[in-house]
Amino acid sequence: MERSFAKEVKKLKLGDGEVFEGEGILAITKALLQSGVSYVGGYQGAPVSHLIDVMADARDILDDYGIHFEASGSEAGAAAMCAASINYPMRGAVVWKSTVGTNVASDALSNLASAGVMGGAVIVLGEDYGEGASIIQERSHAFAMKSQIWLMDPRPDLTRIVDLVESAFELSEASNTPVMMEFRIRACHMHGSFVCKDNRRSAISRNDVLTEPDFDYARICMPPATYAQEKHKIEKRFPAAIDFVRANRLNETFPGDLDEIGVIVQGGLYNSVLRTLQQLGLADAYGNARVPIHCLNVTYPLVPDEIAGFCDGKRTVLIVEEGQPAYLEEAINALLRRHNSATMVIGKDVLPMAGEYTGEVLLNGVAKYLEGSVPPGVDLGPIGAEVERVVELKAKAAELLGNPIPKRPPSFCTGCPERPVFSAIKLVERDLGKIHIAADIGCHTISTLPPFNLGNSVLGYGLGLSSAAAVAPVFGKRVVSIMGDGGFWHNGLTNGVTSAVFNRSDGILVIMNNGYSSATGQQYIPSTGKNFAEVPTGQTIRAALKGVGVDWIKTVTTYRVTEMKKTLKEAMTTAEKGLKVIIAESECQLAKQRRLKPLIRKKLADGARVVRTRFGVDDTVCTGDHSCIRISGCPSLSVKPNPDPLRRDPVAHVENSCVGCGLCGEVADAAALCPSFYRADIVQNPSAFDSWLDGVRRRFIGRLQGVAA
Ligand code: SF4
Ligand code: SF4
């Protein structure tokens, strides 16, 4: 895993009255234990991967409480785990990245929401929206509304978050409905503290097992039960949820003296709004604002009388709702009209419809709102001046920088085993012409960016091969699909490979087998060889491919560019029809470095011999055309001034960050570029033979230099 939480996990054992200090995602995990869960599952994805990692590291605690933890095969599998809460009074939580994960889970979610739950079921969503996001920009809100699953968006404050997680289970049970809790990137990674409660044991667990199955046809999602379930949702569960939210004050109202105006904000954006008001001189550093704020920790369902009450007597309210469509703004507008309220609703008029509400966006939007609503007792001069000040600061910064800052697209890590595959594809294209590449989700999606620019479409996790289905038959050349090992097990084996074999498709699939779900933090997957409990699994990609009927399978070490190029060319040109799979194998370099670092440190401390391989470029040979950089894209490959006064082009240079993967040398060889690259082995704690050999070499080189002189 990317990070070990072994130390932090100890905090999960804290008891009543003790103070927890740490990261938001760890606080959420502690809140699950305090809520008495019987099961936890999920699928990794930023910004909530760490919840899975923490659970994997907390095995002794889970065992003690009899909690079942499962690293699910996909988000759909995780959502289906909640079925335990349909029949039994068992609390459980599942986690994934949204909205992509919610898309995958939506079949199970619809069924879960229709059947309803007896035990509290909470779905923790990493709402990956905005400038730090890595996925399509949509909102989980749509899923909540369409399936009638309640949606919480907690105010980023650890005490409040933990309280709301516990309330989410109670809300779920009070209304027989699963509850989604969305956490933005910053909430997951914020640090803070809260006073703990004791962890709770569930009455049903691996330690206290069930003996009699429950059967109730009313909970099966099939007609006529589904008709009754829909009615139950609307007539019973919906009002029960509203009553619970109101009675337990899950939403919060913060008063202010400017009571002709107000802000209604999604809980997750509360801190940003407060900071904006502070910048505009309308709040202090302790969170006291002059503008009244109604903070929606529950964004679905809304509590109509709560909102109408907040708006009572106000000329206008500003709705701060990130993303689109403007569900909250539309709903609040409608409910105020039904309450015959004269309060004017302002939202997307002053704030953008799309994109993250960063500090700057909110500053401009809130300032516009204040300037338009003219609250009595507020001098608008400093408000406009603050906006102006930020504009001027940005202009000044741009002026000082002179030229625009060069773009730095994301890149594979130094020494990444996936980079050589794309170098090889580039070389094949040089011989065969441009190829249609059906790309996939994972670190390898970076191939779509410079210097490779390889990848014509990305349709979803594990869907690389499926996305080639209609292109391949109409293309004059074989189409190459890419898939990671994570994607292969998530969706690719069934929807991609099995379907391609079933439909007798002719194409090429490259599976990047780097050993982990690398892009999300090196979590274990079936082909890692062991599960999160370090138990061997014996599952391999090759065996799975064979099992579904693939015959043409070649395994190539990714760093062997010449062999990879040859295998790709063979797959492109062979007369053999059908799916051809190349398993591109080498361990994720980031995971490898993390694995090796402590071992090397120990060896050095013990005085043992350690060899580090580094590559370099011979200045006198490099021609300065930099094709090595264009074909490998390694961030450790740079340029430096040409030491030869008669040559003006800068020469290639290998930075100290080189991990010695050897790709640059391989590429130079496979592409017949130049012989500039050399390999050097740096020996620490040399043996007697190393020292003797070094002496011989030095004397020999000295002689040569003497002769040359
Ligand atoms: S995390 Fe691993 S697989 Fe992903 S880019 Fe880095 S080295 Fe490559
Ligand atoms: S050997 Fe070459 S490609 Fe590999 S990390 Fe070093 S500079 Fe980069």
Pocket test for ligand 1, best of 441, 516, 588 (most atoms within 8 A of CB): 588
Are the beta carbons of 466 and 459 closer than 8 angstroms? yes
Give per-residue pLDDT as tens, 510-568.
Answer: 999 999 999 998 999 999 999 988 999 999 999 999 999 999 999 999 999 999 999 99
At residue 50's C-alpha, the angle toward residues 48 and 54, to 5°, is 135
pLDDT value for 3: 61
Give per-residue pLDDT as tens, 334-384.
Answer: 999 999 999 999 999 999 999 999 999 999 999 999 999 999 999 999 999
Query: Using CA atoms, how far apart are residues 9 and 5, in angstroms rounded to an integer?
Result: 6
Distance between start and end Cα atoms, the chain: 55
Give per-residue pLDDT as tens, 67-107.
Answer: 999 999 999 999 999 999 999 999 999 999 999 999 999 99
| Ligand 2: residue whose CA is nearest its atom 2 | 664
Are the beta carbons of 305 and 246 closer than 8 angstroms? yes
At 63, is the secondary structure helix, strand, or coil? Answer: helix
Rounded to an integer, the average pLDDT of 685-698 is: 94
Q: Residue 709 pLDDT more than 70?
A: no
Query: Using CA atoms, how far apart are residues 506 and 469, in angstroms rounded to an integer?
Result: 9
DSSP string, 299-318: EES--HHHHHHHHTT-SEEE
Ligand 2: which atom is nearest the Cα of residue 661? 4
Q: Residue 50 pLDDT more than 90?
A: no
Could you tell me whether strands 316-320 and 263-266 are parallel, antiparallel, or unpaired per DSSP bridges?
A: parallel
Pocket test for ligand 2, best of 634, 673, 682 (most atoms within 8 A of CB): 634
Range of weakest confidence among 111-120, 478-487, 547-556, 663-672: 663-672
Are the beta carbons of 489 and 526 closer than 8 angstroms? yes
Q: Residue 626 pLDDT more than 90?
A: no
**Whole-prediction pTM:** 0.94
| Ligand 2: residue whose CA is nearest its atom 6 | 658
Which residues partner with 23 through β-bridges? Answer: 191
Which residues partner with 557 through β-bridges? Answer: 585
Query: Using CA atoms, how far apart are residues 167 and 247, in angstroms rounded to an integer?
Result: 12
pLDDT value for 159: 98
CA of 604 to the centre of ligand 2 (A): 23
DSSP H or E segment with residue 263: strand 263-266
User: In which band, very low, low, confident or very high, does the pLDDT at 242 lie, cut at 50, 70 and 90?
Assistant: very high
DSSP H or E segment with residue 92: strand 92-98
41 φ, ψ (degrees, to nearest 5): -145, 175
CA of 421 to the centre of ligand 1 (A): 13
Give per-residue pLDDT as tens, 251-270.
Answer: 999 999 999 999 999 999 99
Ligand 2, residues at Cβ distance < 6 Å: 414-415, 615, 632, 634, 636-637, 654, 658-664
Rounded to an integer, the average pLDDT of 458-476 is: 96
CA of 60 to the centre of ligand 1 (A): 30
Range of weakest confidence among 160-174, 206-220, 499-513, 619-633: 619-633
Provide, rounded to the nearest whole percent, the portion of the chain with pLDDT above 90: 85
pLDDT value for 707: 63
Ligand 1, residues at Cβ distance < 6 Å: 412-413, 416, 418, 443, 514, 518-519, 588-590
Query: Using CA atoms, how far apart are residues 516 and 464, in angstroms rounded to an integer?
Result: 18
Give per-residue pLDDT as tens, 565-619.
Answer: 999 999 999 999 999 999 999 999 999 999 999 999 999 999 999 999 999 999 9
CB 235: neighbour CB atoms within 10 A? 10
